[in-house]
Amino acid sequence: MTQQAHSTGLTIAEVAERTGLTAHTLRYYERDGLMLEVGRNGAGHRAYTERDLGWITLITRLRATGMPIREIRRYAEMVRSGGGNEGARLDLLRAHRDRVRAQLEETAAHLDAIEFKVAYYAAAVGETDPDAELIAQQRRDAPAATG
Amino acid sequence: MTQQAHSTGLTIAEVAERTGLTAHTLRYYERDGLMLEVGRNGAGHRAYTERDLGWITLITRLRATGMPIREIRRYAEMVRSGGGNEGARLDLLRAHRDRVRAQLEETAAHLDAIEFKVAYYAAAVGETDPDAELIAQQRRDAPAATG
DNA sequence: GCTTGACTTCGAGTGCACTCCAACCCGGAC
DNA sequence: GTCCGGGTTGGAGTGCACTCGAAGTCAAGC
């Protein structure tokens, strides 16, 4: 087979290609309850829809921002169970959003310290760091004297 | 012992308290080659210096931004081996900085999509999201119709 | 001098998220 | 009609970063 399932949906290889996930991971997500009822074609092969693609994009974002598998599963269960629990979904997403906001700020602070360290070493090596002007002011910790 | 090691340095419990790491993790980091020769007191107990504290702060930042243990070990080895390899340290730090910058942008993009989703559900539930004005414009993916 | 509690080492165990394997099936090309 | 590529399942294995347990040491308090 080369890819005949187009009228019925995308193959797992095509979805892997488009999402950047492996076929292994796509099957694992489904087994673990993260997906929304993926259909099968006549041969028993998975036939993904555009809606599935959108869902995979969403859960990939949630994973990439640190949401654990089991929480994505909880969310998927709510979506699969149909309407009526939008409030609960909203609570879950808001909690995650807050965590991501905090994580973003923390990472920005760490990045600042790392930039400072880079500028220190660039100066030590006698090289002018191309980004030196971005980090002109002093930072408190990550003391350069420690390595 | 309650804490007599002050003239000779900080105990592992004190360092755990100040850094937010556990004593287990501090020992693990040392065993795994992430530390810079932590001294011992008469009883064979670890006696951390202020320099050690600064170093722990740094490696905590590196870990929190996703640097793997084995790369921190490489960096620690360079620092332990003394001067002369500042160029290599700089390369390592710059590579990490670039990854963190990319990661920060990616996370910001994901956060945008999640904010949009939250606004969608807030509207669906009939609640006005307090942050709705922050995300007024349309976003492409994470289609609300998918859950 | 015995208990107590914080430390020590070494090694094993845990949780998470994949990642891979073996055995099998199916449809199309030769 | 057989071969091949790409799918299927269930279950086992991997890598990472801790995390814990067992057995022992040491110094201070009673």
Segments making up each domain of chain A, as ranges: 1-82
Q: Which residues of A touch B135 (CB under 8 A)?
A: none
Q: What is the pLDDT of residue B60?
A: 98
Residue with tokens 């036939």: A47
- Lowest pLDDT segment from A45-59, A67-81, B51-65, B116-130: B116-130
Contact between chains at B65 and A114 (C-beta distance less than 8 A): yes
Which pairing describes strands A39-40 and A46-47: parallel, antiparallel, or unpaired?
A: antiparallel
- Please indicate if any CB of chain B lies within 8 Å of the CB of A146: yes
Distance B2 CA to C1 C1' (A): 21
Q: What is the pLDDT of residue A11?
A: 97
pLDDT band at B7 (very low <50, low <70, confident <90, very high): low
pLDDT at B1 > cutoff 50:
no
CB of B23 within 7 Å of some strand C atom = yes
Torsion, Cα of A106, A101, A77, A35 (10° steps): -70
Cα separation, B92 vs A23, whole angstroms: 33
Are the beta carbons of B61 and A142 closer than 8 angstroms?
yes
pLDDT at B132 > cutoff 60:
no
Using the Cα atoms of residue A22, residue A25, residue A26 and residue A27 in order, give the sign of their dihedral: positive
Q: Which residues of B touch A115 (CB under 8 A)?
A: 97
pLDDT at B137 > cutoff 50:
no
Residue A39 one-letter amino acid: G
Across B12-36, average pLDDT: 97
Is domain A1-82 annotated with CATH 3.40.1410.10? no
Across B127-132, average pLDDT: 60
For residue A102 the two structure tokens come to 């905090």
Report the length, in residues, of chain B.
Answer: 147
Tell which strand D nucleotides have any atom below 7 Å from a protein Cβ: 5-10, 16-20, 25-28
Of B136, B117, B111, B133, which is closest to residue A86 (Cα–Cα)?
B117
Are the beta carbons of B22 and B16 closer than 8 angstroms?
yes
- Determine which of B90, B91, B97 to mutate to test the interface with A (most A C-beta atoms within 10 Å): B90
Q: What's the half-sphere exposure (Cβ side, CA atoms, 13 Å) at A14?
A: 16
B 73-132: CB within 7 Å of strand D: none
Across B28-34, average pLDDT: 98
pLDDT at A109 > cutoff 70:
yes
Selecting from B79, B90, B121 the residue whose C-beta is nearest the C-beta of A89 gives B121
- Lowest pLDDT segment from A34-48, A98-112, A127-141: A127-141
pLDDT band at A5 (very low <50, low <70, confident <90, very high): very low
Residue B4 one-letter amino acid: Q
